[in-house]
Chains A and B, each alone.
Chain A
Amino acid sequence: MRRLPRILKFGIPLVLLVWAGYAWVYGDWIRGYAIEDAMYPSPIEDPAHVDDLTAGREVVQPVEWDRLKPLARARAQDNTVCAALYFATYGNRGNRGTLEVEWLGPEISGQSQVDMATVKDNKFHTVCFPGVRLADVIDQPSFLRIRSLDGELGRSVTAWLSGHEGAVRATVDGQQVERTLVYHLRTIAGNTRERIAGWVLILFAGLIMAVLVLAVFDRRLR
């Protein structure tokens, strides 16, 4: 039992260190379990971007309901709708300003804002529309609109378009283009069990790795 204080002295900080490291690396990922894909991501073929989304510029994309996963159609109707949009940031330069992303439907609409400083380069950025349930908008003609409120040239993100066959074309600044916005729908499913499991697993990671490291430096072991 004389070992116990020494174990606590080094072990607990080590556990906390590993756990904090995991939380820092995987925290966003685990929180992201709450939102699940309702569509498979669209292919990205012959890509092009729309240049800096400066103040007043907008991209409008009709929602392709035929891309909705059958499983989402069967199970996710009560969930809030989100959209994953594929932005580029010009090599993570320091962008600033705000985008407004809107869900435009015949009966129900919703909107959300994106701080351009939080967008990552060539990654999907998920935007949710509180109050828009999948059941309320499914199969209705709907549009996603991205509008820049105050973006500046050289300090704004851009959105990727894809030129794959069969996709419904996007409209950029009022002009229909030959490409479609790279996006897919997601929904807020909660998934509390899986989110808790993520945190519990990194707790185990901290404990197990701390014991392994302590064993290496325990001089009593031969």
Chain B
Amino acid sequence: MGSEGNTAPGYPWQILVLAALFTLQSLYLAFFLTPPGDVPDEVGHYSYVRDIADGKIFPLLGESYMAPDLWGMPEALQRPESRENWIVQHPPLYYVLAAVPLAVGDVFTDSGWFLYRAPRIVSALALGALILVLFRTLVVAGVPMRRAILVAPTIGFVPMVTQLSSGTNNDLMLLLLSALAMLYLVRFVLGQRLSDAYLCALWLGLAGATKMTAWVMMAPVVGLLLFEMRQPLWAWLRHAAGILVVALALPVWWMVRNVIHFGHPMHIAGAGTGGKKVFDYGFLDLIRDEPVFDSFFEHFYGLFGFSGYCINYDLIHLCQGIQMTRLFLFPMTAFTYVMLVLTVVFLVYLGLVAWRSIFAKPASGPALSIREHVGAVTSNRIVGRMLLGAGVLVGAVLATVLLTQSYVRDTATGPVQLWIMAAAPLAGLTAFAAVLLPQEARDRIALYGPVVFLFFGAILLYQIYQGFLYNEWLRGVHGRYLYPVIPPLIVSVAIAFERLRVPTLAYLAIVLVLGLAFYDAFLEQVIPFYISVRV
């Protein structure tokens, strides 16, 4: 055991150049293309950063307002009213970092053009760092460098990711911190070094200090650390407590602050206003009548817009709601079918792992972790088969329900997108059952991805359902809300490709298709959209 997972070599020049190119590309978009306000909720995110740069370190929800001269418009064009800034509901870590370039910029210039874009530098750097962290994680997980170089930068070929990396928004920072947590989880599973477990917990805590959605991811990932930890009982208890303290310190601080000011640990804008459930409506009704999964899928790939000329008071009478566009045609079709290929490959791999685990021999030696204790029980063939059978059966039933009951858009890719989304419960529950049986470390890492994704997705769906009951309209179906659980999924699929010995040229073909789709999306859809809505 010992040092496995901690001995990966350095970074080859290709991945350094790729990370630098994606960072430069995002910086270029940030300063020369992405219109101010056209990244999701950028008006609020920028105002939060502005508050901190001006010395208001923890602006309070309900007391923080957006500046009327937000994008430096002449006074005649500004909105006369100040709007409450709902974004200050988020924990402050990202905003403190993004305030650094803004504060430095304040010292050297009063150019609005630069200052409004200065916080975007942090998002662009986060994308570059994310590519390096994903590369490192894949290599540690056993993916050869050549293939890791192809897989890691692919995240930048998701137009939504690159768009967010060119704006003032906390999602890229959250994705980076989640990837760092995944890196140390992989290292810990392979090497059992306690420092890796504590570092994983630290990155989780920092993710929780960036966005509350990370709190949902903390439960399964901390659970995995404790599940994997091989220590004598007292040491296990001591370190379990230590890991929990490290992971939860910052989120608990934010919760306590919320309780003190608002009376609820997870207070967000619009909460506590006396809302009541407006009608009885079943979950199946929701997914049948509303484009829940369709929206998650398509918004994950690309949902552009948000403000445009709607933030310009002089033109606001022309504004028919917020202007947005989804990506479609070749980019969306290419992305959908690539996701289908990845899903099918992972399901094949999962089937092989499940089949093989039925015949696996129990591990020798004393059981020191929860995983090993559980494995001692499940290595009984009858127990193991029942467990796997239950996971597959329940997963298949849930997948069938989603496939038959969900809203499906009447497009060529609509049904395919639903198949992909419906694979989540099947993969998640089968992987959950399989990981309770004795498995090799790398296979366990691959199995954890869909388990964490399913847990996170289920909580998110529940929140969306609750929100629908109170608001009567669908909200929160943004693919970027899934970012905390994207790094585990990338690692899972990469390991599946490795185990199935998929040739490197197939990796290259997939990456190039995504790259072609990405640039086609920007050149044929995004830039024309920006032209049509710019301030």
Do A and B come together as binding partners? Answer: yes
Across the interface, B18 reaches (CB within 8 A) one of A22, A37, A208, namely A208
Chain A: number of interface residues, binned into ranges: 35 or more
Residues of B within 8 Å of A75, CB to CB, are: 315
A198 proximal to B (CB < 8 A):
yes
Contacts A/B (CB < 8 Å), 9 sampled: A33-B527, A191-B531, A193-B32, A194-B33, A207-B21, A212-B149, A212-B508, A214-B14, A216-B508
In the assembly, what is the distance between CA of A220 and CA of B505, in Å?
A: 17
Chain B 501-535 per-residue mask, 1 if CB under 8 angstroms from chain A, else 0: 00011011001100100010011100110111000
Across the interface, A213 reaches (CB within 8 A) one of B508, B519, B531, namely B508
In the assembly, what is the distance between CA of A216 and CA of B528, in Å?
A: 34
Residues of A within 8 Å of B29, CB to CB, are: 197
B10 proximal to A (CB < 8 A):
no
Residues of B within 8 Å of A220, CB to CB, are: 12
**Judging by beta carbons under 8 Å apart, are A208 and B532 in contact?**
no
Q: Shortest distance in angstroms between A219's beta carbon and chain B's nearest beta carbon?
A: 9
Residues of B within 8 Å of A215, CB to CB, are: 12, 14, 146, 149-150
**Judging by beta carbons under 8 Å apart, are B145 and A216 in contact?**
no
**In the complex, which residue of chain B has the Cβ closest to the Cβ of A35?**
B531
Is chain A's interface secondary structure helix, strand, loop, or mixed overall? helix
Segment 430-457 of B: residues with Cβ below 8 Å from A? none
**Judging by beta carbons under 8 Å apart, are B527 and A197 in contact?**
yes
In the assembly, what is the distance between CA of A71 and CA of B533, in Å?
A: 9
Segment 10-59 of B: residues with Cβ below 8 Å from A? 12-14, 17-18, 21-22, 24-25, 28-29, 32-33
A211 proximal to B (CB < 8 A):
yes
**Judging by beta carbons under 8 Å apart, are B523 and A216 in contact?**
no
Residues of B within 8 Å of A26, CB to CB, are: 519, 523-524
**Judging by beta carbons under 8 Å apart, are A30 and B508 in contact?**
no
| Contact A30-B318, Cβ < 8 Å, known A193-B33, A212-B18, A212-B512 | no
A29 proximal to B (CB < 8 A):
yes
Chain A 148-172 per-residue mask, 1 if CB under 8 angstroms from chain B, else 0: 0000000000000000000000000
Residues of A within 8 Å of B524, CB to CB, are: 26, 29
Across the interface, B28 reaches (CB within 8 A) one of A22, A71, A200, A208, namely A200
**Judging by beta carbons under 8 Å apart, are B527 and A209 in contact?**
no
In the assembly, what is the distance between CA of A214 and CA of B17, in Å?
A: 12
B309 proximal to A (CB < 8 A):
yes
| Contact A194-B530, Cβ < 8 Å, known A209-B512, A214-B14, A216-B505 | yes
In the assembly, what is the distance between CA of A204 and CA of B127, in Å?
A: 15
Residues of A within 8 Å of B515, CB to CB, are: 205, 208-209, 212
**Judging by beta carbons under 8 Å apart, are B531 and A33 in contact?**
yes
In the assembly, what is the distance between CA of A194 and CA of B522, in Å?
A: 11
Q: Shortest distance in angstroms between B149's beta carbon and chain A's nearest beta carbon?
A: 4
**Judging by beta carbons under 8 Å apart, are B315 and A194 in contact?**
no
Residues of B within 8 Å of A70, CB to CB, are: 318
Segment 116-175 of A: residues with Cβ below 8 Å from B? none
In the assembly, what is the distance between CA of A222 and CA of B17, in Å?
A: 18
**In the complex, which residue of chain A has the Cβ closest to the Cβ of B15?**
A215
A108 proximal to B (CB < 8 A):
no
**Judging by beta carbons under 8 Å apart, are A197 and B17 in contact?**
no
**Judging by beta carbons under 8 Å apart, are A29 and B14 in contact?**
no
| Contact A36-B531, Cβ < 8 Å, known A22-B519, A30-B523, A211-B21 | yes
